[in-house]
Chain A
Amino acid sequence: MSSETLTSTEYIRHHLTSLTYGRFPDGHWGIAHTHEQVNEMGFWAIHLDTMFWSILLGALFVWGFSRVARHATAGVPSGFQNFVEGIVDFINNSVRGSFSGKNDLIAPLALTIFVWIFLMNLMDLIPVDVIPRLSQMIGIPYMRVVPTADPNATFGMAIGVFLLTLYYSIKIKGVGGFVGELTLHPFESKNPIVKVLFIPVNFFLEFVSLVAKPVSLSLRLFGNMYAGEMIFILIALMYSAGAVLGAFGGALQLVWAIFHILVITLQAFIFMVLTIVYMDMAHSEH
């Protein structure tokens, strides 16, 4: 909250506005200082906070893990190497369990998704006001710290996964096989005329289910994290509503944060498992 008193609506809106760098209607580029300016920017804008936190966390992940990987020995592992190997082993087992094809990219993909999403989700456990408040003190108007509560981040990853499934579908089954998969199921017929008649229906159904995959993948994660963040914001609102309600809010925040540990891990895991499953579907012939 800034120094002047805010209404609840303004407080929530402030928390849900990203630090946006974009093109103003008059053509020049800059950082938006009000919610209206963000709305005016439209597509030609970039969320600096989402980019900063996600890349920072991703870099933290690859730095930590690659440090271990560089010094990885077959001898007795210790400390952080144990921890990393535990995660790697867990991912490896998950991939072997769900992915029947042979592709060296899937396991590292799953590892990146799991750890990166987990770290981004973890930002949700930092009390909602801490980082935005500190940012305001150094003159940054907006700051959203949970990248996965920004649909751009979740859609970015889901589209990445989607493009990979398209790539491998076409690579493994060929263009014909891929198109056939889209048009010749689920309604099949031996009669060529009926077969042709079924094509538009099949295509519609298969296309919807194809597109639904990345959309559901990203919206599931986004929805969970957005809702979680929203509840933290609402709980934070109680602190300004007197001592009794504030204390109650404190207890609530603790309970919700503990519950949220489960949610953030589970969402990271679900995203990873579904990615593996989609990749498996792309690799397997019908």
Chain B
Amino acid sequence: MHINLTLLGQLIAFVVFVWFTKKFVWAPIIAALDERQKKIAEGLAAADRGKHEQELAEHHAAEKLHEAKAQAAEIVSLAQKRAAEIVDEAKDDARTEGERLLTAAKAEIEQEANQAREELRQKVGALVVAGAEKILNKEINAAAHQKVIDSIASEI
């Protein structure tokens, strides 16, 4: 065991290695580690934020859905009401139309009946004259007896 110049050599080597390590090993590695730590922290924070946002969005979506459902129900009820109205209107229309047709028909019938009665009345007048001629065996002046004929005919 000799203590000699080797000691000095080792001391110098030691100093050089420490210097080199400080400058070229430690600083970049620690920088990378710190940067990664920051990145991970940021990532975790972003994940938390995303989770929170998702919750908000879910809440928002549920609200929207609820609103839409209510709106749809309202629309359906309105439509039903409107349909009922339309049916009622149609019924009313049909009823009035029917009544109108009915009265028109009645009026026509009456008119035709009147017409027939008038014709009948004329024909009865002629018939009465013809009958009376036969009975009297002579011609009757229809004009002279017009009053009588009319009174008979009006009794029909």
Contacts of B4 in A (CB 8 A): 20, 22, 41-47, 152
Q: Identify which of residues 21-67 in chain A touch chain B, using a CB-to-CB cut-off of 8 Å.
A: 22, 38-39, 41-47, 50-51, 54-55, 58, 61-62, 65-66
Contacts of B21 in A (CB 8 A): 62, 65, 108-109, 111-112
Q: Is B108 an interface residue (CB 8 A)?
A: no
- Binary contact readout B11-40 vs A (1 if CB under 8 angstroms, 0 otherwise): 101110110111011111111110110110
Contacts of A39 in B (CB 8 A): 2
Q: Which of B11, B28, B39 contacts A159 (CB 8 A)?
A: B11
Q: Is B136 an interface residue (CB 8 A)?
A: no
B7 contacts A58, C-beta separation under 8 Å:
no
Q: Is B5 an interface residue (CB 8 A)?
A: yes
Q: Which of A70, A92, A111 contacts B28 (CB 8 A)?
A: A70
A155 contacts B3, C-beta separation under 8 Å:
yes
Chain B contact patch, size range: 20 to 34
Q: Is A252 an interface residue (CB 8 A)?
A: no
A45 contacts B9, C-beta separation under 8 Å:
no
Contacts of B14 in A (CB 8 A): 112, 116, 156-157, 160
Chain A contact patch, size range: 35 or more
Q: How far is the CB of A64 from chain B (nearest CB, A)?
A: 9
B6 contacts A50, C-beta separation under 8 Å:
yes
A157 contacts B30, C-beta separation under 8 Å:
no
B6 contacts A51, C-beta separation under 8 Å:
yes
Q: Once the chains are docked, how many angstroms separate the CA of A70 from the CA of B3?
A: 38
B5 contacts A44, C-beta separation under 8 Å:
yes
Contacts of A108 in B (CB 8 A): 18, 21-22, 25-26
Contacts of B39 in A (CB 8 A): 74
Of B17, B30, B35, chain A has the most CB atoms within 10 Å of the CB of: B17
Residues of A within 8 A of B (CB): 16, 18, 20, 22, 38-39, 41-47, 50-51, 54-55, 58, 61-62, 65-66, 68-70, 72-75, 77, 84-85, 88-89, 92, 104-105, 107-109, 111-112, 116, 147, 150-153, 155-157, 159-160
21 pairs across A/B with beta carbons < 8 Å?
Answer: A44-B5, A45-B2, A46-B6, A51-B10, A51-B13, A55-B13, A62-B24, A66-B20, A66-B24, A69-B25, A69-B32, A72-B31, A75-B36, A104-B22, A105-B18, A112-B17, A116-B17, A150-B6, A152-B10, A153-B6, A157-B11
Residues of B within 8 A of A (CB): 1-11, 13-15, 17-18, 20-22, 24-33, 35-36, 38-39
